[in-house]
Amino acid sequence: MKIFTSLENAFSDPILVEMLDLSFKDIDELPKKICDLRNLKKLNLSDNQLEELPSNFGNLQNLEWLDLQKNLLEFLPLSFLNLSKLKYLSLYKNEIISLDKDFGRLQNLQYLILKGNNLNLLPETLFDLNKLEYLGLESNNITIFSERVIDLIYLKQLSLSDNDIEILPVNICLLENLEQLAIDRNPLKLLPDLIGNLKKLKKLDLRDTNLQSIPDSICDLEQLDYLFLGKNYISKLPDRIGDLKNLSYMDLTSNNFGLNEKERIIEIFPNITIDW
C-alpha cells in the first residue's frame, strides 16, 4: 500500500489515499480539504505545530489509526467523535485540557495515548471504551481515577504515572487481563489489599509513591517479572515475597531497608537483578 507524504500528492489522487504521513512538516494549519480523503485509514500528523483540527475532521470516517503526538492541540472538534472506526489514537504531548463528555462514542479504540497533556478530569464515558487494550495517562494532572475502570475488561496496559492520584480505585485490582500497571510518581501512600488479584500482571511500577509498606497479597502475583519499588519508605518486604517465582528484576533503590532485611532479600532471590 502506497504511503503518501504530501498533501499535494494526496489531493491529486484522493481516492487512492489510504495512508498519509505528514509528520515533521512544521504544519500549523490543516486545510479542510484533507477531510475529503474519504478512504484514508492511517494518518500521521505528529511533530507539527497544529493548534486545532478542521471542524469537519470527523468526515474521515474510515480512519483507523491517527497519530497527533507533539502538537499544540487544546481540544478536539465535536465532529471528532464521528471517527467510529478509529482503533489507535495518540495525543501524546499536546495541551489537551479536557475530553468531550461523549468521548466514549469512539467505541473501536484499542490504543489510547494521552500522556503529557493538561487533563485533570476524565469523562465517565471514557470507560465505555471497552475494547481498550492500552491506556496511557502519564504526566497529566489527574487527581481522581474512576472505579469504572473495571469496565475496561480487555485492558492489558495501564499507566497513571506522574499524576496527583492519592487513592487508587480498588476496581483496578479486578482487571483480569492487566499485564502492566504503572502508578509511579503519585502521592498514594498505600495500595489496595486486592492487588494480588491481578494474576496476569508481569510489570508493576510503584516508584516514588510515598509507600511505607506493601500488602502481603502482592506475593500472589505469580506472573510478575519486573517490580519497581524505588524512592519510597519501605523497610521490609512481605514474608512471602519469595512466592514471586517469575521475578527477574527488582528496583529497591532509595528505601529504608536495613542490613538484615537486605541480606534476607538477597538470600531469597540469589539469581535475580536487584538495584539497591
CA distances to 133, 204, 206, 247, 257 from 177, in Å: 9, 14, 19, 19, 33
Q: What is the mean pLDDT of residues 152-161?
A: 98
pLDDT digits (tens, 9 = 90+) for 81-110: 999 999 999 999 999 999 999 999 999 999
pLDDT digits (tens, 9 = 90+) for 222-243: 999 999 999 999 999 999 999 9
What is the 8-class DSSP label of residue 186?
S
SS3 223: coil
Query: Which residue ranges make up each domain of the chain?
Result: 191-276
Burial class (CB in 10 A: 0-12, 13-18, 19+), 190: middle
Question: Phi and psi for 50 in degrees, rounded to 5?
Answer: -70, 130
Asked if the 191-276 domain carries CATH number 3.40.50.970, the reply is no
The whole-chain average pLDDT of the chain stands at 97
pLDDT category of residue 189 using cuts at 50, 70 and 90 = confident
Q: Strand ranges (DSSP E) for the chain? A: 3-4, 19-21, 42-44, 65-67, 88-90, 111-113, 134-136, 157-159, 180-182, 203-205, 226-228, 249-251, 273-275
pLDDT digits (tens, 9 = 90+) for 6-42: 999 999 999 999 999 999 999 999 999 999 999 999 9
- What per-residue confidence (pLDDT) applies to 153? 97
Question: Phi and psi for 14 in degrees, rounded to 5?
Answer: -60, -35
pLDDT surpassing 90 at residue 131 = yes
- What per-residue confidence (pLDDT) applies to 1? 81
